[in-house]
Amino acid sequence: MLTKYIHEGDVLLAYLPLAHVLEFLVENVCLYWGVTLGYGTVRTLTDASVRECQGDIKELRPTLMTGVPAVWETIRKGVLAQVNQGSPLVQKIFHAALNAKAWCLERKLGAPISQETQRFLSTALCPILQGYGMTESCGMCAILTPDVFNYNRVGSPVPCTEVKLVDVPDAGYLSTDKPNPRGEVFIRGPSITAGYFKNAEETSATLTADRWLKTGDIGEWHPDGTISIIDRKKNLVKLSHGEYIALEKLESVYKSTAYCNNICVYADSMQSKPVALIVASEPRILELAKAKGIETRDFAALCQDKVIIKGVLDACLVTAKRAGLKPAEMLQGVYLEPVEWTAQGGLLTAAQKLKRKEINQAYVAEIKTLYSA
């Protein structure tokens, strides 16, 4: 599906661990295509991440990159930080050009922009194409191609994969929904796993008798044959008033807030709103402290300052309103963590995804305090 868009001389920046099935797949496909591979790391991608030298992206100047959401957020915030260091005129010109190009893209696509980061990078740098898959499907089972580029879509199923949507009535997602069918994504095909090694119980819970893989993701079909992933079944939480919220959806929205390097949203089913654990951005927090007239430059102390916490919460709520979140999806409170979450620390996977259970266990006291405030 993508071969016609790959050209001689293309260069891929490879930086995810090969334990990540997508990275393993992409590197092997690039070797097949004859694409040059350059190796970097997550922590040295941008100029802001290193000292006395250029970041991996500027040094290699790749034409192709495979990414995860955390990386795209880092790049977006890095670009904005550079722009904000310029004069008011430079900032005005940049944002005017950005908005003009975004308007042209919206006119061409005939659809509203729904993801701030994808919109920003696709407008300012290059098209960000989403794909969909998992370890159990051997990487991608759907991919968005440039000829049907759109926001918040993961594309069409790849030729070796069947996809169907199955009703989730408790959450209100039905394959008969109008205008677009919605439901849990089931996938089947030769690339799908035969099961989990020596774990028959998990295998039977994940694979149906006729070999459909239950992904746990909630999808929505569009008339052009593309699909959007709109929720995560196991991360849907029913709040005290009976309304469901999707934790991963909220994290993707709130993570675009300038003060946030990483975020884990938590929702107690006995409460009416969620709270968030935020790994704070030190440069942005220091800027906020200066704007608020707070003299201390101690980052850890600032993360506990009530004025700073309120400033970050207010910024998160502005982001939420701009994204059109419902009242039940608005954060009740935030906890600011000054120390970065890492895979080595046991709070992230090798692919930089949240280990939600471990994070929630590590911050039991902080979550309790947020709800009792």
Please determine, for residue 350, whether its predicted confidence score (pLDDT) is greater than 90: no
pLDDT in tens, 227-254: 998 888 877 888 888 788 989 889 989 9
Instruction: Enter the pTM of the model.
Output: 0.66
Structural domain boundaries in the chain? 3-110, 131-234, 240-372
Tokens of 353: 């995804």
For position 139, what pLDDT does the model report? 78
pLDDT class of 106 with cuts at 50, 70, 90: very low
- The percentage of residues in the chain with a pLDDT greater than 90, rounded to a whole number, is 50
Please give the angle made by the CA atoms of 126, 256 and 349, to the nearest 5 degrees. Answer: 90
- Averaged pLDDT for residues 185-214: 94
Which residue has better confidence, 185 or 119?
A: 185
The dihedrals phi and psi of 36, each to the nearest 5 degrees, come to -75, 135
pLDDT in tens, 277-302: 999 999 999 999 999 999 999 999 99
Distance CA 52, CA 291 (A): 29
pLDDT class of 201 with cuts at 50, 70, 90: very high
Please determine, for residue 1, whether its predicted confidence score (pLDDT) is greater than 70: no
- Rg, the chain, Cα only: 21
- Which of the residue ranges 60-64, 305-309, 362-366 would you say has the lowest mean pLDDT? 60-64
Please determine, for residue 98, whether its predicted confidence score (pLDDT) is greater than 80: no
Tokens of 351: 């692919």
Which one is the CATH code of 240-372: 3.40.50.720, 3.20.10.10, 2.20.25.650, 3.30.300.30? 3.30.300.30
Which residue has better confidence, 72 or 357?
A: 357
Is the separation of the CB atoms in 336 and 278 below 8 Å?
Answer: yes
Tokens of 227: 């699909």
Q: CA torsion 297→300→302→303, rounded to 10°? A: 150
Distance CA 63, CA 10 (A): 6
- Which of the residue ranges 93-97, 199-203, 230-234 would you say has the lowest mean pLDDT? 93-97
What CATH number should be reported for the domain whose range is 131-234?
2.30.38.10
For position 38, what pLDDT does the model report? 96
